[in-house]
Structure 1
């Protein structure tokens, strides 16, 4: 944790603040290791504090040994304001994503303290994964990979999409996951044209393609995998679309290396799909950062300004979605390395045709 605090302090010096506060659960966990649902992390130039209430004091002391734990006695703003005064904090950096109500409370309660809004201050540090984080993320990916192998024996005509989602989550929990990383996408047949087609009560039929987009939440981190398979023989058109998406995904993977712009990585997939005549059927970005949150920096999109660097972890997930016909998406989790990239996913991407 010390390394993370040092990086944050360096960033604070660049914005002219002498302390930082966050109540965002993901950033609180990243800095301290604390997993409770209520708490505020305050980092000064020399100290680190975790303010929480009676319910979590013991847990906080155990999970955040590098922090001084403060019991706010159900008066958080008052306790934090007192702490800031005692430490002589004059300029306090905060995340501009906080609610206006919170900003008003802090403005009134932190007497003599100038609030300095920041955007992405800690998220830009979180872009670069430490090896300790990658150990956990690889395990999360392994759970999702095992779940994909398992579900191939479960999917068949007559099974509902929601039952597939439930089976996936049950299996991942049995493997140690705390749950699903997000609301699973199980989209069969024409519903495959919905990029975020959450599992419904629709019954899977023979000849349909099924898109599965899911991941494991594990020890505070997430995995995110998408595979599209067929239940029985699919149509020639859907086979054609699958082949195009696969080639686009492989082209996108080839582009993932240090020095390449996120925009160029996106274009590697987008240009291929457009050349095949499906440009209008690919409306989302090629990928996103992944870690404590399912969607983190950097994004791989037409407007992204990031340049890929070693330590960044991104997804690569192009897709084609045709209303009234169906859709295909293929997604891997990829670590940018000094000499290229490491694809964390090993599941086959050749079209799987399940027996009916």
Structure 2
């Protein structure tokens, strides 16, 4: 069973989301949103449907009744969703029928529509042909909904954070010299599920020089007793909200230069988390972390953004990066994860998921930030 023990939220949650999506579509001058399988569809109706060559599309008009067009042989995929409990017209079709025309029925001759960013070209192109123009992206509309979490979402994110913390607390069971990164990763992946996730979405075990590659996964490299090891792990907790947390581990007493660089990294991460509050921009959080590392002479070793939003997707809006002027609002959730990387030598990263509160930020990860000695 998952950490929350639920496959989807109550029907009222989805009813509210669809209503807001329709309102925002109208405010954007759209006639309808067309949402294909993926995180947006799961957000709106709790559907776990996959994208196939046969069209599945939720159409949310700015005014009127939403519809879901789905192949008859895929109707069973809706049984775990909220569709049957909502005021949604189900339009099922069989092979040989024009599913794209069916989805657009009732929207007029040249409606202005926006499609979710997960829609494949296989369906986007036929829709564009039928509406007479390239559709807009629904991302600006749906981003407004998904960026600001509701109580139910935050509860699951909090459970996910606690679950991944429990995995990091057990790291000494698996992480030791003489083992390969891959073997350690296998044990971590099993523990991620055992501690309440439905799956392990990713497991990064970056030892020694591999730790200097932020997106290294794991390899057959044998871990040594002088390695610094970056462990970045996460996965979904039902109904599908993700954890993501990074800690850095070592064996024995690290060298002075490692200790000094890591102390600066700790200060950068702490400064960025302390800067989180409503009314500041996403880019200001990135700047808070970056300024500390630049002052320590480590600016060139910090080679990525400070964070990313999290929810049904591991990476989503808001992105905590220079140039992003989005103003933070209460209930936004994102990672704060500065890192330092010395190519060919070692790397380190500290990552917590932080939720914006009414007057600051709440970290959903509570494992120590020290360079963990095993």
Per-residue CA distance 1:133-156 (angstroms, 9 max, x = gap): 112112221221111111222211
| 8 Å CA contact 1:335, 1:341 repeated in 2 | yes
User: 2:57 matched to which residue of 1?
Assistant: 40
Distance apart, 1:246 and its partner CA: 0.6
Distance apart, 1:127 and its partner CA: 0.1
Unaligned runs of 5+ in 1: none
| 8 Å CA contact 1:52, 1:69 repeated in 2 | yes
Take 2:132 and 2:79, find their aligned partners in 1: how far apart are those partners? 27
Moved more, 43-52 or 92-101: 92-101
Runs of 4+ deviating beyond 6 Å: none
TM-score (norm 2): 0.88
Distance apart, 1:176 and its partner CA: 3.2
RMSD between superposed Cα atoms in Å:
1.9
CA gap of 1:87–1:307, structure 2 versus 1, over 3 A, is closer
Matched, 1:30 2:30: no
CA gap of 1:330–1:194, structure 2 versus 1, over 3 A, is same
2:237 to 218, 241, 247: 218
User: 1:106 matched to which residue of 2?
Assistant: 127
Moved more, 261-270 or 45-54: 45-54
| 8 Å CA contact 1:92, 1:114 repeated in 2 | no
| 8 Å CA contact 2:232, 2:245 repeated in 1 | yes
2:314 to 283, 294, 318: 294
CA gap of 1:61–1:24, structure 2 versus 1, over 3 A, is closer
Secondary structure in 2 aligned to 1:120? helix
Distance apart, 1:114 and its partner CA: 5.6
Distance apart, 1:231 and its partner CA: 2.0
Per-residue CA distance 1:162-198 (angstroms, 9 max, x = gap): 111111110111233221223x211011211111111
Matched, 1:254 2:288: no
CA gap of 1:335–1:178, structure 2 versus 1, over 3 A, is same
CA gap of 1:35–1:97, structure 2 versus 1, over 3 A, is closer
2:336 to 316, 332, 335: 316
Take 2:121 and 2:47, find their aligned partners in 1: how far apart are those partners? 25
| 8 Å CA contact 2:57, 2:68 repeated in 1 | yes
Mapping of residues 1-356 of structure 1, within 5 Å? 1-38=14-51, 39-44=56-61, 45-63=63-81, 64=83, 65-66=85-86, 67-74=88-95, 78-86=98-106, 88=108, 90-95=111-116, 98-108=119-129, 110=130, 116-118=135-137, 119-182=139-202, 184-219=203-238, 220-354=240-374
| 8 Å CA contact 2:275, 2:288 repeated in 1 | yes
| 8 Å CA contact 1:28, 1:41 repeated in 2 | yes
Take 2:76 and 2:118, find their aligned partners in 1: how far apart are those partners? 29
Distance apart, 1:27 and its partner CA: 0.5
Take 1:75 and 1:180, find their aligned partners in 2: how far apart are those partners? 39
Secondary structure in 2 aligned to 1:228? strand
Take 1:88 and 1:36, find their aligned partners in 2: how far apart are those partners? 27
Unaligned runs of 5+ in 2: 1-13
| 8 Å CA contact 2:245, 2:352 repeated in 1 | yes
Take 2:99 and 2:312, find their aligned partners in 1: how far apart are those partners? 28
Distance apart, 1:250 and its partner CA: 0.2
How many matched pairs?
Answer: 350
Secondary structure in 2 aligned to 1:283? coil
CA gap of 1:265–1:75, structure 2 versus 1, over 3 A, is farther
Moved more, 93-102 or 141-150: 93-102
Moved more, 334-343 or 94-103: 94-103
| 8 Å CA contact 1:21, 1:94 repeated in 2 | yes
| 8 Å CA contact 1:96, 1:117 repeated in 2 | no
Take 1:57 and 1:97, find their aligned partners in 2: how far apart are those partners? 20
Take 1:49 and 1:61, find their aligned partners in 2: how far apart are those partners? 16
